Amino acid sequence: MSFNQRVEVGAANDAAPILVTGGAGFIGSNFVLDWLATSSGPVINLDKLTYAGNPANLASVAASPAYTFVQGDICDAKLVARLLEEHRPRAVIHFAAESHVDRSILGPEAFLRTNIDGTFTLLQAARSYYDSLVGKERERFRFLHVSTDEVYGTLSPDDPAFHEETPYAPNSPYAASKAASDHLVRAWVHTYKLPAIMTNCSNNYGPYQFPEKLIPLMIANALQGKALPVYGDGQQVRDWLFVLDHCRAIRTVLEQGRIGETYNVGGGNQRSNLEVVTTVCALLDELVPDSKFKPHFQLVKYVQDRPGHDRRYAIDARKLEGELKWRAEESFETGLRKTVEWYLANAAWVADVTSGAYQQWMTQNYDSREAGRSTVAIGEGSR
Ligand code: NAD
Ligand code: DAU
């Protein structure tokens, strides 16, 4: 597929594996596919396979001798220690998390467990493992913690973008749990000299994103003629980054980033939610010309806002751009087109992940929201 960019960064063809956590999720699976496609060395993928983890994302590499999948929990200290001991990775890339803000509002416990306890467990295991290393193995070991811009809180329209020194001010249970995990990583660097680096990234979009998040949800609902639920006034702003640009940023930071540093990652694509939904609908109108739901924008339905909804995120990525020469390569327009095309070409993937428990989530999250104003009456097939 055209979305699989091939990027060479730093030390390629290194025989030592990396240990990826959460590699069956959205960003993790894009990262694993890209890593293996560029022959950067073997990957051990530790993933619990929650509702968000999907081995089908990695079907194309499942039989590769360079890929090992381990179903397990990052909170399982014995398992994590054993994997480090057995595979002797040169790095841990930590993606595993509960990642959806709305789920964190309705059920925060899992977020505290995985995002805080899980990160703590990994840090402790990585610390013991690092202490056992000598020579080159010790010198090159890195723990890369993948985090989010949501730890910085919310911005007003005229505020400057988040930079690495912006004070933490998390607003949702999800953001608070990620902020806590970031603080743990910082402390393990400072106190135990664990060679960790952090990345804080803005909203990702692209192939394999679970259709609970804005863009794939809008695509999946529009194709079925269901309502497109826009929270509040739809004027909240996010800074969108194509997932493979994020994966490339992580590789760059892994190979060249300075220990103990944080690097903000962002696409420089600030868009209101309504603009995003409008663009998705226009792409669907063009790419599915015979759709009976055209124009898809008529399906938009304003619904009750997310409690504590952050108004605006924006990332200042100048540190990563200046120091490590990373740049986002995909424009929002080209990236969104590739994304919509991917979802259209992968209807079976969507059908698979939206069966069963997904329907319960849709009921839980959306049915209780009182409808605000609707642009038009919701048409045939809507919820
Ligand atoms: P995701 O929800 O799509 O995937 C999370 C993965 O982690 C799943 O495969 C799941 O099975 C696994 N997992 C969850 N709990 C686990 C546990 N206890 N043990 C092992 N595996 C577990 O998430 P994503 O969108 O791919 O995000 C990946 C990381 O990037 C997260 O840490 C998230 O906070 C961060 N991030 C995401 C975005 C974004 O826009 N999606 C932006 C910035 C940062
Ligand atoms: O900023 C980085 C973060 O981006 C990541 O850390 C999170 O893991 C990721 O989920 C994402 O968080 P958001 O809350 O910004 O993403 P989400 O796709 O849930 O929502 C994007 C915007 O769209 C947000 O303002 C809420 C709005 N929205 C979302 C949904 C699901 C709607 O209006 N309607 C919806 O149905």
Relative to beta strand 237-239, strand 91-94 is: unpaired
Confidence band (pLDDT; 50, 70, 90) for 111?
Answer: very high
Per-residue pLDDT at 6 exceeds 80: no
Is the pLDDT at 40 greater than 70, yes or no?
yes
Tokens of 86: 């057995």
The pLDDT of 148-177, averaged and rounded, is: 98
Q: What are phi and psi of 272, to 5 degrees?
A: -75, 155
Ligand number, closest to the Cα atom of 307: 2
Q: Whose CA is nearest to atom 25 of ligand 2?
A: 236
Distance CA 306, CA 133 (A): 47
Ligand that comes closest to the CA of residue 151 = 2
pLDDT average, residue stretch 293-320: 98
- Cα–ligand 1 centroid distance for 98 (angstroms): 6
Residues paired with 242 in a beta bridge: 205
What is the per-residue pLDDT for 356?
A: 85
pLDDT of residue 14: 61
Identify the nearest ligand to the CA of 301 by its number: 2
Q: Pick the residue with more confidence: 373 or 64? A: 64
Average pLDDT over residues 329-347: 98
Q: Is the pLDDT of residue 376 over 80?
A: no
Domain 5-209+242-271+309-332 -> CATH class: alpha beta
**How many Å apart are CA 125 and CA 115, to the nearest integer?**
15
Instruction: Measure 219 CA to ligand 1 centroid, in angstroms.
Output: 21
Task: Evaluate whether 71 touches 47 at the Cβ level (below 8 Å).
Answer: yes
203 CB within 6 A, ligand 2: yes
**Predicted confidence band of residue 256 (pLDDT cuts 50, 70, 90):** very high
State the average pLDDT over residues 10-35: 87
55-68 average pLDDT score: 97
Q: pLDDT grade, residue 5 (50/70/90)?
A: very low
Measured by CA distance, the residue closest to atom 19 of ligand 1 is 73
Residue with tokens 């600030």: 270
pLDDT of residue 8: 33
Residue-level pLDDT at 370: 59
Average pLDDT of 139-164? 98
- Which residue is closest in CA terms to ligand 2's atom 15? 203
In this structure, what token pair is assigned to residue 321?
């751009």
pTM (2 d.p.):
0.94
Cα of 47 to ligand 1 centre, how many Å?
10
Find the 360 Cα to ligand 2 centroid distance in Å.
19
Question: Domain residue spans in the chain?
Answer: 5-209+242-271+309-332
